[in-house]
Structure 1
Amino acid sequence: MKYTAYLSGEIHTEWREMIKSAIAKNNLPIEILTPNTDHESSDECGTNILGAEDNPFWKDHKAAKLNSIRHMTALKRADIVIVRFGDKYKQWNAAFDAGIATALGKSLIIEHAEELTHPLKEIDAAAMAVAQNTGQVIEILEYLCKDY
């Protein structure tokens, strides 16, 4: 079986690269989709493409709309949505992606540290699996791809 997985969530660690590397190393039949993880280009795309804005709200609005094209397309294409919550920043966009994935009936894997269990309990309840580290996520993907 071949899967398409969307990797959503925090952008301040190398977790996506760890998953991509494990997929390549183990020759897993998984296509990876990601959001734009370059903070500057993500924040500036709206005004760079559609023109400057004096009001920060409209600047962010333009960027969010353009970025949502990529996010929504990836969420709809994905068989599996993996959302990682880091502890450094609040990731409302990651929570939003988890909610959309749930509404679309996608298989949802959540990753976060144990201390985030209480604030993420509703998101965890919607997930098929809740991992505490990227190694566990990789093991889940390896399990899903194994022939029995």
Structure 2
Amino acid sequence: MALSVYLAGQIHDDWRNEVRKKAEQKALPLHFTGPQEDHSLSDDIGEKILGEQPSKEYHDDAASSINNFRTRILLQKADVVIAYFGESYKQWNTALDAGSAIQAGKPLILIRPDSLIHPLKELSNQADVTVKTIDQALEVLAYLYK
């Protein structure tokens, strides 16, 4: 049984590659999707499709509409969502995706370090499972196959 896993979280470092690599090493039958990882494409997709926008606000609004459309479809097709909160970057999109997963009734694994226990306490309480590391999240998924 292969599962589709939506990897919600910031796109500024390679945490998704770590998840993919470790899942492959464990021979887990997982297919991964997530937000657009090409940051420039994500930021500029509105103008690429709709044409030049009159201001930065419209530029961002056009891109966010298309990125939200993409996220909504991929998240709804996912069997499970992993939301990764790290130490280094602002996590607004991660929180939005995790909340969307909860509202859609998608099983949610929340990864967050000890430093974010307090700010994410309500979200963590709504997640199906909260862990501290990528390895722990993958062990949760591996458990499905035992």
TM-score in terms of structure 2 length: 0.93
| Cα displacement string for residues 31-72 of structure 1 (whole angstroms, at most 9, x for unaligned residues) | 111210121110011112211123211110100111112100
Whole-angstrom CA distance in 1 between matches of 2:128 and 2:49? 38
Partner of 1:110: 110
CA contact (8 A) 2:10 2:93 kept: no
- The answer to whether the Cα contact below 8 Å between 2:85 and 2:91 also exists between their aligned partners in 1 is yes
Q: Identity rate of aligned residues, in percent? A: 39
Decide which moves more: 129-138 or 57-66: 129-138
Q: Which amino acid aligns with 1:46?
A: G
Aligned mates of 1:79, 1:54 — CA distance in 2: 39
SS at match of 1:88: coil
- The number of residue pairs the alignment matches comes to 146
- Is the counterpart of residue 44 in structure 1 residue 44 in structure 2? yes
Moved over 3 A (4+): none
Root mean square deviation, CA, Å: 1.3
- Stretches of structure 2 that go unaligned for 5 or more consecutive residues are none
Matches within 5 A, 1:1-148: 1-146=1-146
Give the Cα separation in 1 of the matches to 2:140 and 2:14.
18
Asked if structure 2 preserves the Cα contact closer than 8 Å seen for 1:29 and 1:145, the reply is no
2:49 is aligned with what amino acid? Answer: I
Q: Secondary structure at the residue paired with 2:43?
A: helix
Deviates more, 1:22-31 or 1:35-44: 22-31
C-alpha distance in 1 between matches for 2:24 and 2:129: 22
- Larger mean CA deviation between 113-122 and 83-92 belongs to 83-92
- The alpha carbon displacement at 1:23 in A equals 2.2
Q: Which amino acid aligns with 1:27?
A: A
Q: Counterpart of 2:61 in 1: which secondary structure?
A: helix
SS of corresponding position for 2:144 = helix
SS at match of 1:145: coil
- Give CA-to-partner distance per residue, 1:107-146, whole Å, 9 cap, x none: 0001111111111111101111111111111211221222
Mark the runs of 5 or more structure 1 residues left unpaired by the alignment. none
Aligned partner of 1:19: which letter?
A: V
